[in-house]
Amino acid sequence: MADAKAAGRSGGGRDPEAVSRFVEHFAAQLVEAGLPRMPARVFAALLASDTGTLTSADLGEQLKVSPAAVSGAVRYLAQVHMVSREREPGSRRERYRVHADQWYEALTNREAVLKRWEDALREGVAGLGADSPAGRRLAETLAFFEFLQVEVAAMMDRWRTHREKLFGGD
């Protein structure tokens, strides 16, 4: 049963059609939120796999796409810290992994992006003048990102505590 294998080597009686419906539905939600279509499908497939890992061949077979499509999607997902690459033991083949705490990791890695935006906005305020209409708009945007940075850090601390209560330590 190749589809069950590609669905995460589950074997445990999971319905490949149900897995496929979930993958496509969740991927559509991710696309609506701004993720490109193929990375969204690959991410959803990894998330739905029992092991959290799939090879390029597994992904291509499950999603019925070319190796090039999988490669491009994985490259994008790795750049935005949504998946990681690892070698299969004793093989040259790579497999791709989504981690249990992947949402935490992805959001934490966004902090660096927010910091760069803040730096650019500071330069903009200085260059345009804090008293100009554009400078005030940039200053307000900067204040929002500074506020967001503090709130996200506090929220992530609360999430770690909450996750520990729900799922224990990993």
Tens-digit pLDDT profile for residues 112-163: 778 889 999 999 999 999 999 999 999 999 999 999 888 988 998 998 899 9
pTM for the structure as a whole: 0.72
Q: What angle do CA 107, 108, 109 make, to 5 degrees?
A: 90
DSSP 170: -
Q: How many CA atoms lie within 13 A of 141 on its CB side?
A: 18
Beta-bridge partners for 87: 94
Q: Could you tell me the two tokens for 88?
A: 């299969």
CA distances from 25 to 71, 72, 96, 104 (A): 22, 21, 21, 22
Reported as a pLDDT band with limits 50, 70 and 90, residue 2 is very low
Contact (CB, 8 A) for 95 and 54 = yes
- Residue at 72: amino acid letter: G
Q: What strand order describes the sheet that includes 94-97?
A: 53-55, 94-97, 84-87
pLDDT tens sequence across 11-51: 457 899 999 999 999 999 999 999 999 999 999 999 999 99
